[in-house]
Amino acid sequence: MITLTGKKISEGIAIGKISFYKRDTKEIRRIYVKDVEKEVMRFQKARMRAIQDLKDLYDSATQEVGEANATIFEMQQMILEDQDFISQVTAIIVEQKLNAEYALKNVAENYITYAIKNDKSYVQGHEADVKDVVTRVLRILSRAWKDRMLMDEPFVLAAGELYPSEAVQLDKTKVLGFVTRYGTINSHTAVLARTKGIPAVIGLGESLKKEYEGKTIIIDGFDGKVYIEPDYTTITKMKQRQDENHTQVVNLERLKGKENITQSGQKIDVYANIGTREDIENVLRCDAGGIGLFRSEFLYMENGNKLPTEEQQFQTYKLAAEAMGTKKLVIRTADLGGDKTAECLDLGVEANPAIGYRGIRVSLDKEEIFKTQLRAVLRASAYGNVLLMFPMITSLDEVVRAKRILERVKKELKDEKIPFNEEIFVGVMIETPAAVMISGELAREVDFFSIGTNDLSQLTLGMDRTNARLEKWYDPHHPALLKMIRIITNNVHLEGKKIGICGDLAADLELTEQFIQMGIDELSVAPNQVLALRKKIREIQ
């Protein structure tokens, strides 16, 4: 038995014969052409056909994986409609009298670097999408499109890399799971694998060898492990885990459309936490009541060395708002700093980043960046039930200052006659002991609250929750923390406001009943934890 370790991107167990993806590509040769006008026209026809293909793919993907995930193919269309991209390819054909295939390949190799330098932010971090688009046009030019997966029965797919357009078209009745040598956990391919529910492990490197073709393989999408020619004990163990997981998934699926209500009739709202636009569809799939926490800092963290523009942020928030409809969408302003670093924002090096320059402190200090985000959130509020929340609050003054800036942004938008919800609800995160102690005063200043138990736990206990050496002392159920949650809840309810929990403890099923008894109004968890939490709530007497 050979054991390989990679990056888990989609949970589940897959057992079957391995088959390598035979992508039909031809060698791109440098060929001189006599009629450059004819060659340019040949390129343009292939480009237009590729755009039409992507439009068709968008329509079919919308039906299968939802509109939020289908926007991947709108982004790919943008590459093919980019005038700079078209001009660069055309220039090589005309000026160097070279064939369209060679010109396209030449431009593609440098396009990502060029696009980032020229603020084409939609390309940032999506090298696989650029390859996907270019491969599509090259195939049209060379009239080659005969990819093959030579298996009559269901199999496990292996590839060097799988492009988004290939991932979205995988037939779940044929492809049990897939493994790749390369790829990133936040790629569009990874998102599509999770959305389609196909177990997958990527990043296996050169240890994934072609000589494994036809051998039995097990994908353990829970632990990021792959077993080639597994022994009897491993097969038995994994089949058992597969059966248990299938039973659990089927049972949880039956809870879709059900209420989050205890057997005694007590209700509690359950929402989902997300970090990117690709997560939006998972909120709908898991039947969450809405988005209880949109971690907007990920838009900054995934944007390379360029700050996300107002338009870029607006389009993402708008997509989330429209997808949720009347359901709640809570957008937390960027909680950058600490362990959340962004290349586009130099926050310096700190000895104690968890208690340093981060959250609302950064926003108030860098007002123009803050205003850009507030404009985007307010504009999106015209398209759904959007709420705004400030992170890492320690004083009433921080809230007052943030709200003043918000009012100035509202006036700007009014003057520009840009629509937004003038009565947008404003809330704060309770993540510091200071915020706990002034929660009563804060409750008179804002509309709602959410407890961030991750930071509140480590700041209360004085322990870094990521430090393995402190694991035996770190107690997420510490009486002091639970007492704080009770204090906050009482203070907030005295002012007639609502409070939720959006940190890791929200998904801790050992505490669910206690939270309900305390009077917590809502719990917000990762999308894949929603139905398990609903099950627990419905079992409580």
Annotated catalytic residues are: 188, 502
Q: Where are the alpha helices (DSSP H) in 416-529?
A: 433-437, 439-443, 453-461, 479-494, 512-518
467 φ/ψ angles, rounded to the nearest 5 degrees? -85, 110
3-class SS of residue 430:
strand
DSSP strand pairing (448-451 vs 426-430):
parallel
Residue from 494, 523, 527, 528 nearest 511 by CA: 523
Got the DSSP string for 450-466?
EE-HHHHHHHHHT--TT
- Residue appearing with tokens 């790749």: 180
DSSP for 215-266 reads SEEEEETTTTEEEES--HHHHHHHHHHHHHHHHHHHHHHTTTT---B-TTS-
CA dist., res. 137 & res. 97, Å (int) = 19
Distance CA 67, CA 77 (A): 15
Element (H, E) at 409: helix 396-415
Distance, in Å, from the CA atom of 70 to the CA atom of 85, rounded to the nearest integer, reads 23
Report the C-alpha gap between 85 and 79 in whole angstroms.
Answer: 7
Taking residue 513's Cβ as centre, other Cβ atoms within 10 Å add up to 15
Q: Kindly give the interhelix angle for 36-65 and 67-81, rounded to the nearest 10 degrees.
A: 170
Q: How far apart are CA 520 and CA 531, in angstroms?
A: 18
User: At what angle are helices 310-324 and 67-81 packed, to 10 degrees?
Assistant: 150
